[in-house]
Amino acid sequence: MGEEQANGEAMAGRATWSRSAERSGTFGLTWEGWAVPEFVLTHTQEWLDHFALQGYRASPLAAGVEGAIYDLGSDLIAKVWRARRQGELELMQHFYADVAKAGLPFMTPEILTVEQIDGVSVTYERKLPGKPLQHRLAFDDREVEPVAARCVIDVLQALSSAPATEAMRRLQVLDEKQPLWTGADTFQDALTNLLSRRVARFGDVIRTRLGDFDRRYESLRRRLQALARCPDTVIHGDLVPENILVDERARPVAVLDFGFLTTAGDPRLDAAIAASVLNMYGPYAPAITEALTAQAAQDLGYPVDVLLIYQATYAVATANAFTCDGSDGHFAWCINQLRRSDIGDALSM
């Protein structure tokens, strides 16, 4: 991999720091001008020394709320995980192998080895090429340039061709302690059960910001259960622009950072999420979401109302993904999604 590609991957990680900081408000320290969790600062030299003893010329590559990534050279990276257990990562290793078998037109991560070092999980993975699609976008964009929108649609279409596997159904999502599909025979049942658990934990917090939440939530449950079913495929669940790596013509060459909401299920959920998170916080975000939702409906053949129902589902499920008390930017964004008039119409409010 050339220097430009390596730098592209590094910037993917740095963009993730910025997005995570904006969502969660948990970052206050900096490294080379970027917000970094304390976990990275207190462990960086220790891990650089460790990898040097293994014969690698390691350098810090990226960091996020789950840990730190190091460039080991020779198209190899190491991820030091803050809390992931070895069993979880071995399951993710199987999951990535299943995705690779689907023959997608872009690269996806591959975990080569999972190790435990002094009680900390470390994975060794191949480095992915390209630069984040985020480089083609700006916070104050009035609209998404066609080539960027086309890139997102192409990724969604490709992922929808990867059939669901048992490893996908065994994955946990968010901070859940059990697989999403536990006790469910259908994806709609799995999602409804997830919403029930999230509302039981965080419903009171959501109600303080959304007075008619219970009415919206009950309508959402009914509409979700009534959706026409389609074949289950892989769902990435977090197709923000930082997680799509592209070439100089904005064609997707790699997709990374599976895990936040990755599972098996209805590919229309992935399209709904991607349309709403391409520009989350910019001044023209609502218009961009509306336009990309319409394009996904047209190009992929997904009914608009289904996408809107899934956007509401995402907002309820992830509202408290970063803080329990709703003090972060992502929570506020989710509340605003649930207040959208088009989502209200889809829920028959």
Express each pLDDT in 308-317 by its tens digit.
Answer: 999 999 999 9
Q: Which two tokens stand for residue 272?
A: 């709904």
For residue 163, the 8-state DSSP code is: B
pLDDT tens across 35-94, in order? 444 444 455 788 999 999 999 999 988 877 678 899 999 899 999 998 888 999 999 999
pLDDT confidence of residue 63: 77
Query: How many whole angstroms separate alpha carbon 258 and alpha carbon 165?
Result: 15
Which residues on adjacent β-strands are paired with residue 234? Answer: 264
Backbone angles phi, psi at 342, to 5 degrees: -70, -35
Q: Which amino acid is at 247?
A: D
What percent of the chain is modeled with pLDDT above 90? 81
Q: Does residue 322 have a pLDDT over 70?
A: yes
Query: How many whole angstroms separate alpha carbon 7 and alpha carbon 9?
Result: 5
Query: How many whole angstroms separate alpha carbon 272 and alpha carbon 299?
Result: 13
Q: Which of 323, 153, 163 is nearest to 231 (CA)?
A: 163
Query: How many whole angstroms separate alpha carbon 134 and alpha carbon 152?
Result: 11
Strands 233-235 and 76-81 come out as unpaired
pLDDT confidence of residue 122: 95
Which residues on adjacent β-strands are paired with residue 115? Answer: 122
Q: Does residue 23 have a pLDDT over 50?
A: no
3-state secondary structure of 259: coil
pLDDT confidence of residue 43: 57
Q: Which two tokens stand for residue 195?
A: 């919403």
Side-chain half-sphere CA neighbours of 324 within 13 A? 3
Gyration radius (Cα) of the chain, Å: 20
Mean pLDDT in residue range 319-333: 94
DSSP readout, 3-62?
A: HHHHHHHHHHHHHHHHHHHHHH----EEETTEEE-HHHHHHHHHHHHHHHHTT---EEEE
Choose between 41 and 258: higher pLDDT.
258
Contact 198, 190 (CB under 8 A): no
pLDDT tens across 121-170, in order? 999 999 999 999 999 999 999 999 999 999 999 999 999 999 999 999 99
Contact 309, 266 (CB under 8 A): no
Q: Does residue 325 have a pLDDT over 90?
A: yes
pTM of the entire predicted model: 0.87
pLDDT tens across 169-198, in order? 999 999 999 999 999 999 999 999 999 999
Query: How many whole angstroms separate alpha carbon 310 and alpha carbon 191?
Result: 10
- 76-81 β-sheet, strand order: 59-64, 67-73, 76-81, 120-126, 111-117
Calculate the dihedral angle through the C-alpha atoms of 320, 321, 322, 326, rounding to the nearest 10 degrees: -10
Q: Which of 276, 19, 271, 302 is nearest to 134 (CA)?
A: 19
Q: Which two tokens stand for residue 257?
A: 């950072």
pLDDT confidence of residue 82: 84
pLDDT confidence of residue 34: 37
Average pLDDT, the chain: 88
3-state secondary structure of 253: strand
Q: Does residue 206 have a pLDDT over 50?
A: yes
Mean pLDDT in residue range 233-242: 96
pLDDT confidence of residue 21: 38
Query: How many whole angstroms separate alpha carbon 127 and alpha carbon 110?
Result: 9
pLDDT confidence of residue 9: 38
Q: Does residue 1 have a pLDDT over 50?
A: no
pLDDT confidence of residue 10: 33
pLDDT confidence of residue 296: 98
